[in-house]
Amino acid sequence: MIMGYRRRLIRKTLQKRIAKERIRHLLEQARTVFSEDPELSRRYIQRVEALRKRFNIRRTPEMKRAYCKRCYTLWIPGRTLTVRYDKRNRFVLYICDRCGKVYKFAYK
Ligand SMILES: [Zn+2]
């Protein structure tokens, strides 16, 4: 049925919008609690990743540089993150200090 399909689509879009809003809020909370309770912060980010997968939400460029998607650690340069620039090859390496995962980003 066309109506049923459309209604489902609208509901899905709405759920996705709510999920995005929750992700934004969870990231804020993860930042707020990080210095007090890094484990709690990690759980918030774990929830972000779960929501993202469930609703098929892509990470924004900002999110890609905000936390480690392997160990859910919030990145704070000099504390939980090492940043290395490779100017010749024009990329930046983000190295998670907790799990050691290396992320490569294009250099601006
Ligand atoms: Zn990590």
Strand-pair category, 81-86 with 91-96: antiparallel
Domain count, the chain: 1
- Return the DSSP state at 73: P
Residues 13-23, mean pLDDT to the nearest whole number: 96
- Return the DSSP state at 72: -
Percent pLDDT > 70 in the chain is 96
The Å distance, Cα 16 to ligand 1 centre, comes to: 26
Which residue's entry shows tokens 């905000």? 66
3-state secondary structure of 5: helix
The Å distance, Cα 70 to ligand 1 centre, comes to: 5
Confidence grade of residue 3 (pLDDT, cut at 50, 70, 90): low
Q: For 72, list phi and psi in degrees, rounded to 5.
A: 65, 25
CA distance 23 to 105: 22
- Domain extent, residue 34, equals 2-106
CB atoms within 10 A of CB 41: 24
CA 18, distance to chain mean position in Å, is 16
The Å distance, Cα 22 to ligand 1 centre, comes to: 22
Q: Which pLDDT score, from 0 to 100, does residue 4 have?
A: 85
Which residue's entry shows tokens 């983000």? 94
Which amino acid belongs to residue 88? Answer: R
The Å distance, Cα 87 to ligand 1 centre, comes to: 24
The Å distance, Cα 5 to ligand 1 centre, comes to: 40
Give 50-65 pLDDT, tens digit per residue: 999 999 999 999 999 9
Give 59-102 pLDDT, tens digit per residue: 999 999 999 999 999 999 999 999 999 989 999 999 999 999 99
Q: Which pLDDT score, from 0 to 100, does residue 5 have?
A: 87
